[in-house]
Chain A
């Protein structure tokens, strides 16, 4: 396992564009901290976002993992191109001739996906922890370390999404087309959503939608806004009552893990069946 990871990271290390994208990604992750500096000071109205409670433990875990997940697109480009470039440079062929098996080849990519996801999650953990310690109103240990399942969801979400990208890279063999396919797929899920809304009842719709890969991934971490106490106060005043399920459910995690396994297995199957 170490050998395979070593091989793949070596390839990434020497590719300048991949390196730039990875660095950009982590810089953007850190930029979540910049939200703290959003501050309006217009006469009597004082607005400081960091003091609205978004960095309160344990809410910060939810808020930050929701936002950080947006930046995953940068890593998606890296992952799609690290797969499709092997086709366009024909280095995949050379790797196999040099003695890498097709299984090892896919595994080396998958391990890299895992490592990038682990590092992202740890990075998010540290950034959120620091932000929280500075701005949170509660700093008791048991509050700080509650609701950490959002980080687990973040990790599973990244692994799932990147595995999908990996599969598209193998399937389409061209990075631009693979990314295009990703958007087409997103659109397709939207169409399915529309069709289900028209022709079936809400229960069937919810059941099918939670199974579709991209939707299942975004389902893992739900929008955190309506959970903010400030927002809820406003909502209560206008007579709206939110009753939203924010929790990360085990079956949602299971669905995404299922897709991850399927994508990796399909990538392997495709590679095995193809003549290069």
Chain B
């Protein structure tokens, strides 16, 4: 698989504070990556470094095969970090033309990209008259102008209203479905869960996990069970070796699996022992639960 971005032992210190600590990971072509972490975990700093606006303290990163200079590589990248930054006195089209000049691509894609983000009708309005949601969508259009190899988004839905958030997510999903590699930094877990296949988890600048979202915790999931006699149920569950931790809360029995077990097998087993379930759900931990487990454990 072609690697797009390789980060090795990257470190950034702001005075005493270490914002990014010995971070290494690789972004491969075609996947949708999420960088997850609470506020202040070093997400934006990491992106700032690879995007040439923050100076690294030590370590290294390389774009593509590492043969092009960073600023040339960035012409093949589309990126939005934090707030959308454009010239307030220029219209959408004028701003995009400027981006085209910088990226050395022609103006032919401007209308098409404005169409994707639904700003074609307002293309001749000044940027300063745009709402935050529109500004953010213009930023996405601008990042797409060069049909980038990778799209980098840093908190793209930050500060938007629910409708704006929904619009941005739809756009991201649409872009991802066309096979563009995406790197999405966010502290919103459901956002990452909905669009990403791979995830890098950071806390205080240290990498806690990187890999596929569904392999983040080697877990076989858990059962949520209810019946008329919970005490008896717990006793029986404890006698079955595949179960590990068993918790009872609000009449709901949660039993974690150490090995895989199918729900029909469990149902049959319990029925044979005289337990009739009123509630049976097999689930895997949501990303949020996995994330909290990860960030609390270490």
Chain A positions near chain B (C-beta within 8 angstroms): 3, 6-7, 10-11, 14-16, 89-91, 93-102, 104, 272-273, 275-276
Interface code B96-140, partner A: CB below 8 Å = 1, 0 otherwise?
011101111000000000000000000000000000000000000
Partner of A273, one of B48, B55, B70, B72: B55
Contact of A3 among B51, B69, B79, B101 (CB under 8 A): B101
Residues of A within 8 A of B88 (CB): 89
A7 and B98 contact, CB distance less than 8 A = yes
Check A97–B79 contact: CB distance below 8 A: yes
User: Is the CB–CB distance between A101 and B55 below 8 Å?
Assistant: no
Q: How many residues of B contact A (CB 8 A)?
A: 32
**A102 vs B70: C-alpha distance when bound (angstroms):** 11
Q: Smallest distance from the beta carbon of A87 to chain B beta carbons, Å?
A: 11
Q: Within 8 Å of chain A (Cβ to Cβ): is B271?
A: no
Known: A14-B87, A14-B90, A89-B85. A100 touches B102 (CB 8 A): yes
CB-defined contacts of B79 to chain A, threshold 8 Å: 97
Tell me whether B54 is interfacial, beta carbon within 8 Å.
Answer: yes
1/0 contact string of B36-79 vs chain A (CB within 8 Å): 00000000000010011111000000000000011110110101
Closest 10 CB pairs of A and B: A99-B75, A101-B71, A90-B85, A94-B85, A99-B74, A276-B53, A98-B102, A275-B54, A14-B90, A97-B51
Contact mask for chain B residues 239-265; partner A; CB cutoff 8 A; 1 contact, 0 none: 000000000000000000000000000
Q: Report if A98-B74 is in contact (Cβ < 8 Å); known contacts: A3-B101, A10-B101.
A: yes
Pairs across A and B, CB under 8 Å, 6 listed: A3-B104, A90-B83, A93-B81, A96-B74, A97-B52, A100-B102
Greatest chain B CB density within 10 A among A89, A102, A272, A273 is at: A89
Residues of B within 8 A of A10 (CB): 97-98, 101
B residues 182-217 touching A (CB-CB < 8 Å):
none
Chain A residues with CB under 8 Å of B77's CB are 99
Give CA–CA (A276, B94) in the complex, Å. Answer: 24
Bound: A104/B97 CA distance, A:
18
- Which residue of A3, A16, A99 contacts B71 across the interface (Cβ within 8 Å)? A99
Contact check, B55 vs A96: say whether CB atoms are below 8 A apart: no
Give chain A nearest CB distance to B94 CB in angstroms: 6
Complex-state Cα separation, A90 to B74, whole angstroms: 18
**Is there contact, CB below 8 Å, between B89 and A15?**
yes
Q: Are B87 and A11 in contact, CB atoms less than 8 angstroms apart?
A: yes
Compute how far the CA of A239 lies from the CA of B285 in the bound complex, rounded to whole angstroms.
102
> B25 an interface residue at 8 Å Cβ cutoff?
no
Q: Which residues of B contact A6 (CB under 8 A)?
A: 101
B101 A94 Cβ-Cβ under 8 A: no
Residues of B within 8 A of A95 (CB): 102
Least CB distance, B159 to chain A, in whole angstroms = 15
In the bound complex, residues from chain B placing their C-beta under 8 Å from that of A93 are 53, 81, 85
- Alpha-carbon separation in the docked complex, A170 to B59 (Å): 28
Q: Is the CB of A100 within 8 A of B71?
A: yes
Expressed in whole angstroms, the Cα–Cα distance for A102 and B52 within the complex equals 9
B87 touches A99 (CB 8 A): no
Q: Are A14 and B94 in contact (CB under 8 A)?
A: yes
Which of A11, A14, A95, A98 has the most chain B CB atoms closer than 10 A to its own CB? A98
The docked-state distance in angstroms from the alpha carbon of A10 to that of B98 is 7
Q: Supply 15 further A-B pairs (C-beta < 8 A) apart from A96-B52, A104-B71.
A: A7-B98, A7-B101, A10-B98, A10-B101, A15-B87, A15-B89, A89-B85, A97-B51, A97-B53, A98-B142, A99-B102, A101-B71, A273-B55, A275-B48, A276-B54
